[in-house]
Amino acid sequence: MKACLLWLVVLIQSFSTMSAYARGTGDLGVIIERASSSIQIIETTGNSSIGRVNGLGDLSHASIVYSRDARFAYIFGRDGGLSKVDILDAKITARNLQSGNSIGGAISQDGQLIAVSNYKPGGVKIFDAETLGLIADIPATYGADMQRSKVVGLVDAPGQQFVFSLWDAAEIWIVDMTDTAGPAIKKFKNIGLNPYDALITPDGRYYIAGLYGEDGMALLDLWNTDQGVKRILADYGKNEQRLPVYKMPHLEGWAIAGNLAFVPAVGRHEVLVINTDNWQQAGKIAVKGQPIFVMARPDGRQVWVNFALPDNSSIQIIDTQNLTIIKELKPGKAVLHMEFEPRGEEIWLSVRDENRIEVYDTRSFKRKASLSAEKPSGIFLTSRAHRIGL
Amino acid sequence: MKACLLWLVVLIQSFSTMSAYARGTGDLGVIIERASSSIQIIETTGNSSIGRVNGLGDLSHASIVYSRDARFAYIFGRDGGLSKVDILDAKITARNLQSGNSIGGAISQDGQLIAVSNYKPGGVKIFDAETLGLIADIPATYGADMQRSKVVGLVDAPGQQFVFSLWDAAEIWIVDMTDTAGPAIKKFKNIGLNPYDALITPDGRYYIAGLYGEDGMALLDLWNTDQGVKRILADYGKNEQRLPVYKMPHLEGWAIAGNLAFVPAVGRHEVLVINTDNWQQAGKIAVKGQPIFVMARPDGRQVWVNFALPDNSSIQIIDTQNLTIIKELKPGKAVLHMEFEPRGEEIWLSVRDENRIEVYDTRSFKRKASLSAEKPSGIFLTSRAHRIGL
């Protein structure tokens, strides 16, 4: 009888732990801790840390997409490691070292496919979201001698499509995975030299690649692909002397407010404003340094900007109605990434060199919480599960 | 020892059931079954039913908002019953019969407040989202003799605001709940006769009330409230004979595609198209019957329309690029509501008089699933938790 009671106690304890996992996943998120190959799992209702997962390889420049049930995070490591983590259970459930050097990924509209963009060997691989087993291997070959290009700016688009750019080949490709056994590939050539990153508008209609090798950006209207790729902002910065670029800006953190889009200017202390009705430049805003991420609060009223060295301890906030800077924050050394909560009341910032994550109220600009983290970089909340292109 | 084993079996069984509740909540949803005072809990990955909750009172015209963790559904019944349901556990965790006759509600930006709009007695009551305890009671009084108006078109807006319209008083009110002990109320008068419902744009900037008593709609720019309420579409339908209105259209199912908004015309066989850059009418589309819900697929490429009697067994689908009807579906008798999955690949339809819920692929228009339901009406997916105004 004593043994019986002991069993019961052990059983109750173990099941109690299990039942603790039963919680909503809508307010969860993951923070990349790149120096320690780990992620931290957080929740945004009480602004607290609820778990950590180790053993995720090289997480420099790592990014994340979420399963459609907001339970699993797919983590794209720089070393080509693709990991699937159960964030309720804080465990790796699958892992695939799928290439030697990788730069981000995307999840298909239906949630069944995970695509990874690779530098080496250059191309895109597509995996089963359940098992991480390979479904399609799409080498990014170009030219007469079939060289392989680095792939950048990979996003998902409606209709089971993935869209990406070829850095070395000056091309944009669309892959339609409706038939997983026979991916349909559409290629757009001579889109501009060295596309370095890309964004897709929140509705999934316009794909825009930033160009490092020449002025302007490459715009593809996915509703009208027969019109080909157009150059926009071609005259921007023409004949001006370029500043040395300390860090390439990111475009995946698009910022669209009403009919204005805000993008970082490469190597300039400026945020460009584009009218999305005609894709003409509508203005530019002088900022403190070279912008890296330019992100709109979900209601579009504010745009938050972080910077490359030597200005990476500051954040500037733009009012999108009058295009002025209304606030500057100094969260600490090396503010690498920002993520708004889905309805915009708070924002999470990673302050890498101070090993902290900060949470701010976006109306009062007051700090609401501060959490310890190991060299934090990217922050990704589960609400991304429900967004096109994120 | 035998008793001991029996206990173990019972324990394991009960805890196994509990651990089944550990799952992501991002792909869940709730369907109103109004004849049986119940809701059905569904999931959209396998398109299946996973639970039912009874005892929710009069659910005609019921609607739902979700907690920020996507675990709790707040259900607004017609009889003034406000119920909080744990959808992981399929249980009512709190219930408050807060008025005699109610017509919908909203959840604050931070998720801590639930607002309910009441017909009788006319006004808005605001509750603690955790306990459903009363926090503020805002009677919708107007005129010299302080009559009380029915309240309609209640939505949340950024900055802890709720916005709503007074049917009898021709007013729009904004309540700022930043200080829960002292709600700040701003009133806009003479906005037009009999506002019957309202929408807020996805960014939470523009609040638009439909008017039953006169032509046009009332527009309030929440970024510039000092400019007051403006009339838009004032000339629409002027001097035309009105058709009898079989059912009032709903506006909360706004449809915005690029810079076009699509709204149902009251009592006419038309969907109105509005340019959101200037809020002028940009067109109209002849449809099969009197439109009720006019809803955009999340990528904005399609708008789906259902109808009042006698056309309520049909759905028409508009291509938003060329403003033509590209498809008509006949899901069955009395198609009452529609809800897109968050990235738009599928849509859920309630077919009340056939006791079925149908799921369609939005590209092929093929039926993907059919579920039994008791007189289903509203369908609400948890991705609403992360949207402004839903």
The confidence band for A223, taking pLDDT boundaries of 50, 70 and 90, is: very high
Residue A112 CA to residue A99 CA, distance in Å, equals: 20
Structure tokens at A356: 């902290």
Least confidently predicted of A277-291, A370-384, B233-247: B233-247
Least confidently predicted of A15-19, A330-334, B219-223, B385-389: A15-19
What is the arithmetic mean of pLDDT over A255-265? 89
Among candidates B160, B259, B383 on the partner chain, residue whose Cβ is nearest the Cβ of A259: B259
- The phi-psi region of residue A359 (left if phi > 0; otherwise alpha if psi is between -120 and 50; otherwise beta) is beta
Structure tokens at B232: 């838009």
The confidence band for B263, taking pLDDT boundaries of 50, 70 and 90, is: very high
The answer, for B109 touching chain A at a CB cutoff of 8 Å, is: yes
Alpha helices, H only, A160-289: none
To the nearest whole Å, the CA of B87 is away from the closest chain A CA by 9
Residues 5-34 of A with CB under 8 A from B: 7-8, 11-12, 15, 18-19, 21-28
The verdict on a CB contact (< 8 Å) between B386 and A342 is yes
The verdict on a CB contact (< 8 Å) between A26 and B386 is yes
Structure tokens at A99: 């290439």
- What pLDDT is attached to residue B266? 83
Spell out which residues of chain B touch residue A70, defining contact as CB-CB under 8 Å: 24-27, 70
Domains in chain A (CATH in brackets) are 29-95+340-381 (no CATH), 98-245 (2.130.10.10), 248-330 (2.40.10.480)
- Please say whether the dihedral angle defined by the alpha carbons of residues A289, A294, A300 and A302, taken in this order, is positive or negative: negative
Residue A241 CA to residue A341 CA, distance in Å, equals: 38
Among candidates A43, A109, A344 on the partner chain, residue whose Cβ is nearest the Cβ of B158: A344
Spell out which residues of chain B touch residue A8, defining contact as CB-CB under 8 Å: 7-8, 11
The answer, for B130 touching chain A at a CB cutoff of 8 Å, is: no
Among candidates A67, A257, A299 on the partner chain, residue whose Cβ is nearest the Cβ of B388: A299
Q: Which of B10, B69, B277 has the highest number of chain A CBs within 10 A, making it the mutation to test binding with A?
A: B69
Residue B188 CA to residue A263 CA, distance in Å, equals: 37
Spell out which residues of chain A touch residue B159, defining contact as CB-CB under 8 Å: 363
ipTM of the complex: 0.93
Bridge partners of B319, per DSSP, are B302, B324
pLDDT above 70 (res A8): no
Q: How far is CA A185 from CA A142, A159, A222, B154, in A?
A: 13, 13, 14, 47
- Quick one: closest CA in B to A256, which residue? B203
To the nearest whole Å, the CA of A15 is away from the closest chain B CA by 6
Spell out which residues of chain B touch residue A66, defining contact as CB-CB under 8 Å: 26
- What pLDDT is attached to residue A100? 81
Summarize pLDDT for B166-175 with one digit per residue, the tens: 999 999 999 9
- Quick one: closest CA in A to B256, which residue? A203
Q: In this structure, what DSSP letter does residue A227 have? A: G
Summarize pLDDT for B342-372 with one digit per residue, the tens: 999 999 999 999 999 999 999 999 999 999 9
The answer, for A109 touching chain B at a CB cutoff of 8 Å, is: yes
Contact between B347 and B341 under an 8 Å Cβ cutoff? The reply is yes
pLDDT above 60 (res A346): yes
Spell out which residues of chain B touch residue A159, defining contact as CB-CB under 8 Å: 363
The verdict on a CB contact (< 8 Å) between A70 and B25 is yes
Residue B159 CA to residue B249 CA, distance in Å, equals: 28
pLDDT above 90 (res A99): no
Which amino acid, one-letter code, is at A220? L
Residues 151-190 of A with CB under 8 A from B: 158-160
**A–B interface: beta-carbon pairs under 8 A:** 181
The verdict on a CB contact (< 8 Å) between B321 and A223 is yes
Is the omega angle on the peptide bond into residue B310 within 30 degrees of 0, that is, cis?
yes
Among candidates A24, A67, A382 on the partner chain, residue whose Cβ is nearest the Cβ of B67: A24
The confidence band for B243, taking pLDDT boundaries of 50, 70 and 90, is: low
Summarize pLDDT for A33-51 with one digit per residue, the tens: 999 999 999 999 999 999 9
- Quick one: closest CA in A to B320, which residue? A223
Summarize pLDDT for B303-316 with one digit per residue, the tens: 999 999 999 999 99
The verdict on a CB contact (< 8 Å) between B204 and A299 is yes
pLDDT above 60 (res B20): no
Phi, psi of A41, rounded to the nearest 5 degrees = -100, 130
pLDDT above 90 (res A176): yes
The confidence band for B19, taking pLDDT boundaries of 50, 70 and 90, is: very low
Structure tokens at A168: 């070395």
Spell out which residues of chain A touch residue B27, defining contact as CB-CB under 8 Å: 68-70
Q: Exposure pattern of A133-169 as b/e (b: 16+ CB <10 Å)?
A: eebbebebebeeeeebbbbbbbbbbbbbbbbbbbbbb
Contact between B82 and B99 under an 8 Å Cβ cutoff? The reply is no
Spell out which residues of chain A touch residue B43, defining contact as CB-CB under 8 Å: 69
The verdict on a CB contact (< 8 Å) between A7 and B12 is no
Summarize pLDDT for A20-36 with one digit per residue, the tens: 479 999 999 999 999 99
- Which of these, B239, B192, B244, lies nearest to B220 by C-alpha position? B192
Q: To the nearest whole number, what is the mean pLDDT of chain B?
A: 92
Summarize pLDDT for B264-282 with one digit per residue, the tens: 988 899 999 999 999 999 9
The confidence band for B16, taking pLDDT boundaries of 50, 70 and 90, is: very low
pLDDT above 50 (res B249): yes
The answer, for A227 touching chain B at a CB cutoff of 8 Å, is: no
Spell out which residues of chain B touch residue A15, defining contact as CB-CB under 8 Å: 11, 15, 18-19
The verdict on a CB contact (< 8 Å) between A26 and B69 is yes
The verdict on a CB contact (< 8 Å) between B70 and A8 is no
The confidence band for A269, taking pLDDT boundaries of 50, 70 and 90, is: very high
Spell out which residues of chain B touch residue A113, defining contact as CB-CB under 8 Å: none
To the nearest whole Å, the CA of B327 is away from the closest chain A CA by 18
pLDDT above 50 (res B260): yes
- What pLDDT is attached to residue A251? 80
Which amino acid, one-letter code, is at B93? T
- Quick one: closest CA in B to A382, which residue? B26
To the nearest whole Å, the CA of A359 is away from the closest chain B CA by 14
The verdict on a CB contact (< 8 Å) between A8 and B7 is yes
To the nearest whole Å, the CA of B212 is away from the closest chain A CA by 28
The verdict on a CB contact (< 8 Å) between A343 and B68 is yes
To the nearest whole Å, the CA of A286 is away from the closest chain B CA by 24
Summarize pLDDT for B153-165 with one digit per residue, the tens: 999 999 999 999 9
Q: To the nearest whole number, what is the mean pLDDT of chain A?
A: 92
- Quick one: closest CA in B to A277, which residue? B259
The verdict on a CB contact (< 8 Å) between B205 and A300 is yes
The confidence band for A98, taking pLDDT boundaries of 50, 70 and 90, is: confident
- Which of these, B111, B1, B4, B133, lies nearest to A342 by C-alpha position? B111
The verdict on a CB contact (< 8 Å) between B70 and A70 is yes
Summarize pLDDT for A317-329 with one digit per residue, the tens: 999 999 999 999 9
What is the arithmetic mean of pLDDT over B54-69? 95
The confidence band for A6, taking pLDDT boundaries of 50, 70 and 90, is: low
Summarize pLDDT for A125-145 with one digit per residue, the tens: 999 999 999 999 999 999 999
The confidence band for B3, taking pLDDT boundaries of 50, 70 and 90, is: low
The verdict on a CB contact (< 8 Å) between B24 and A69 is yes
pLDDT above 50 (res B107): yes
The confidence band for A5, taking pLDDT boundaries of 50, 70 and 90, is: low
Q: Which of B15, B25, B323 has the highest number of chain A CBs within 10 A, making it the mutation to test binding with A?
A: B25
- What pLDDT is attached to residue B234? 86
pTM for the model stands at 0.93
Least confidently predicted of A136-150, A179-193, B54-68, B233-247: B233-247
pLDDT above 60 (res B230): yes
Which segments within B191-323 are labelled E, that is strand? 195-200, 206-211, 217-221, 229-232, 255-257, 260-264, 270-275, 280-286, 291-296, 302-307, 315-319
- What pLDDT is attached to residue B7? 57
